[in-house]
A and B are shown apart, each in its own frame.
Chain A
């Protein structure tokens, strides 16, 4: 009995501490834009759309540098994203993506990873693996 209580306590603590240390806000782009002023230097995940015509890519021996604007789904408003690294296969202009990273004081999202979501014609399945994303 004591052991069981201890164990339940341990699990609760681990979950609690785990959540506190690793949690991250998850916003749709419009929610993010509405409250971005409070989010400076916070880790965030933002889901939005890559604005058409905004992608700049430069490959040097230092790696591939990518800049684009993550815009809302009507492509009216957006936030610039800066990312260095390998692009997921499905990345393209007009695609829905999830950017994970930090919102800098200069008003830019410095991405640690960019995940692409499935094109909407495609239904998700248990058997469908994790598409792309250098996580």
Chain B
């Protein structure tokens, strides 16, 4: 099977290169036969990538330890679900997985669009195939996944225990779907630049794909946060590690793009800016893939240097040069037909939202790359840690949240006092009132007060919008409130689904604020029977218990949890010892409620003194992070849900549910 795998990759490389060239030629000369041939090559590449992936999975599942990859990332005792997940657990497999997603997406895009967008498609295909050439080439020349060892080890070295976690099955695939999904709008953008068809066809065509990519990027980041929270045992979920930042960067620019395309669709403005955002997002996905593999930044994640660096840099530079070159070439055609009418308008609110998002991306990028920049400039490596990112991003994040509230409520073009009073004042007052109440209840942190009151402002604005929409439908169509609500969302999924996403965002802000400002922690060393208090809980250490399986040995501390003098729970934080890689890990115990988590870590157990060291954290509101994510997913589903009728709605909808402000 592995020979088949190697062979398919080599054939795939040739076919992808062929497809790229022929698609370009076919597009250039308008030759249907060439275009069709390139499409066939793309489908064949998909099939080949599938076969190669199946071959690697086969080797993994059958414990073919003679294959270097199988020996490095699995063992005979590894559970099947992690054996499958080992496909993306290591360098080589994950690149193959990337390629599989890319070729699959390419095939789907071609099937969807080849009859519809005949002008653009040859170039879209060429771009996607060119990216595939890069990944095929890496898999053939640099990181061959089917490489065999000179001998067959009796046992594999096993998957890193930190990866033997539920989220290993969800986080990497989500992130990769997000990363690779960003290639679709990029390919369409490049095709638009090449053909000079720079209207908003490419944007409309890729809207769902962009949402798809954004959705999976969001989930990928969130799953990663959840995973970090459960596995790393420091009580937090985001450490601003370079690898986390690498996944966060394209999410920021993609979010900016999703907002600014609305301005292009409505106002025909910001065409260059949108191109820049699409290109930037794609480059950042490649950069992210590269950063985690190159050892360029010594993150605690990436310590091994691999030979991939120069190739990724080369590919990045080439992509940047080609796309920016094309952009420069078409710059004249991209001139906006409209200008910004007023600083106080929805357009400018969106523009600010974009600038803030890109500003955050810049700050995160700068902080991540700072060791390299400082070494190049001053000859000394200087790092900035999480405090840098928190300091810079907290104020920007607050501004962003505020704009989230303002954007949907403010009028297009020019907002006057009238519309301000009608649309913005009520939610602003609601936000202010909540801030004052929280202060009266004793909240003293200015950060928390600002964040919570702005959050309430955003929520109030959304409720207000829904309320008005429902009322308008009731008045016109005579529906009851529930039906009116469903129809309201159904008729304008994009707008009302977007609001649902915003609700999710606000929930996440609440969680971030709660954990950042009100988190409590304590580290304590105890002997059996001793107890301590934290955040209204009493925790009593009741000894340890041990257990062993062929795969893992466990050591658990039993901690009785009491609140208001009543026993409510027993938490058992663990130390695990994985037997194959001979590596210990920490398994936290969490008692989760809506108002917050009690997060307990077994820091250490001293065999001689029988003393146990515990770390306890109280993380207020953290569950809102995960629920906020769910709400975001729900909102995205509403936005993406295919319309039953062809989209021709906006005009009629506007009559029934008036725009919140002056109708343009």
A residues bordering B, Cβ < 8 Å? 2-4, 7-8, 10-11, 14-15, 17-19, 21-27, 45, 47, 59-64, 85-87, 89-90, 96, 98, 100, 115-135
| A86/B381 in contact, CB under 8 A | no
| A129/B609 in contact, CB under 8 A | no
Shortest CB distance B111–A (Å): 29
Shortest CB distance A11–B (Å): 4
B309 within 8 A of A: no
Q: 8 Å CB contacts to A: which residues of B222-239? A: 224, 227-228, 231-234, 239
Say whether, besides A17-B391, A61-B611, A128-B163, A47 and B298 are in contact (CB < 8 Å).
yes
Interface size on B, as a range, is 35 or more
| A130/B293 in contact, CB under 8 A | no
- Chain B 285-312 interface mask (CB, 8 Å, partner A; 1/0): 0001100110100111111101000000
User: Of A7, A26, A117, A125, which contacts B356 at CB under 8 A?
Assistant: A7
Q: A122 — nearest CB in chain B belongs to which residue? A: B160
Q: How far is the CA of A120 from the CA of B374 in the complex (A)?
A: 26
Residues of B within 8 A of A119 (CB): 581, 583
Shortest CB distance A44–B (Å): 10
Interface centre among B157, B224, B231, B384 (most CB of A within 10 A): B384
Q: B157 — nearest CB in chain A belongs to which residue? A: A121
User: Of B171, B348, B371, which contacts A3 at CB under 8 A?
Assistant: B348
B382 within 8 A of A: yes
Q: How far is the CA of A20 from the CA of B232 in the complex (A)?
A: 29
* 21 pairs from A and B in contact (CB 8 Å cutoff): A3-B343, A11-B396, A14-B392, A15-B366, A18-B392, A21-B388, A24-B384, A63-B613, A64-B604, A85-B523, A98-B298, A118-B304, A121-B157, A123-B293, A123-B304, A124-B304, A125-B172, A126-B288, A130-B232, A135-B234, A135-B386
Interface centre among B302, B386, B526 (most CB of A within 10 A): B302
Residues of A within 8 A of B299 (CB): 124
| B383/A127 in contact, CB under 8 A | no
| A64/B586 in contact, CB under 8 A | no
Shortest CB distance B392–A (Å): 4
Residues of A within 8 A of B518 (CB): none
| B172/A89 in contact, CB under 8 A | no
| B362/A11 in contact, CB under 8 A | yes
| B391/A125 in contact, CB under 8 A | no
B380 within 8 A of A: yes
Say whether, besides A61-B526, A63-B525, A89 and B382 are in contact (CB < 8 Å).
no
Residues of B within 8 A of A15 (CB): 362-363, 366-367, 392
| A11/B359 in contact, CB under 8 A | yes
Q: How far is the CA of A63 from the CA of B526 in the complex (A)?
A: 9
| B603/A14 in contact, CB under 8 A | no
Binding-face segment, B31-39, B85-93, B256-264, B639-647: B85-93
Residues of A within 8 A of B352 (CB): 3-4, 7
Residues of A within 8 A of B239 (CB): 130, 135
Count of chain A to chain B residue pairs whose CB atoms are closer than 8 Å in the complex? 214
Interface centre among A10, A98, A123 (most CB of B within 10 A): A123
Say whether, besides A125-B89, A131-B162, A135-B239, A18 and B583 are in contact (CB < 8 Å).
no
- Chain B 590-623 interface mask (CB, 8 Å, partner A; 1/0): 0000000000010110101101010100000000
Say whether, besides A22-B384, A24-B383, A45-B383, A117 and B300 are in contact (CB < 8 Å).
yes
B278 within 8 A of A: no
| B246/A126 in contact, CB under 8 A | yes
| A128/B301 in contact, CB under 8 A | yes
Q: How far is the CA of A125 from the CA of B294 in the complex (A)?
A: 10
Q: How far is the CA of A61 from the CA of B181 in the complex (A)?
A: 53
User: Of A7, A26, A125, which contacts B381 at CB under 8 A?
Assistant: A26
B432 within 8 A of A: no
User: Of A24, A98, A129, which contacts B232 at CB under 8 A?
Assistant: A129
Residues of B within 8 A of A25 (CB): 380-383
| B609/A59 in contact, CB under 8 A | yes
Residues of B within 8 A of A62 (CB): 525
| B72/A121 in contact, CB under 8 A | yes
| A125/B384 in contact, CB under 8 A | no
Q: How far is the CA of A8 from the CA of B74 in the complex (A)?
A: 49
User: Of B94, B231, B370, which contacts A129 at CB under 8 A?
Assistant: B231
B154 within 8 A of A: no
| B89/A59 in contact, CB under 8 A | no
| B160/A128 in contact, CB under 8 A | yes
Given pairs A15-B392, A59-B611, 8 additional interface contacts (CB within 8 A): A15-B362, A15-B367, A18-B387, A18-B391, A61-B526, A89-B575, A124-B292, A132-B586
Q: How far is the CA of A79 from the CA of B590 in the complex (A)?
A: 38
Q: How far is the CA of A118 from the CA of B232 in the complex (A)?
A: 14
Say whether, besides A22-B391, A89-B583, A89-B585, A126 and B247 are in contact (CB < 8 Å).
yes
Shortest CB distance B413–A (Å): 16
| B613/A26 in contact, CB under 8 A | no
Q: How far is the CA of A63 from the CA of B295 in the complex (A)?
A: 35
B584 within 8 A of A: yes
B243 within 8 A of A: yes
Residues of B within 8 A of A47 (CB): 298
Q: 8 Å CB contacts to A: which residues of B192-247? A: 224, 227-228, 231-234, 239, 241, 243-244, 246-247
| B304/A23 in contact, CB under 8 A | no
Q: How far is the CA of A64 from the CA of B467 in the complex (A)?
A: 58
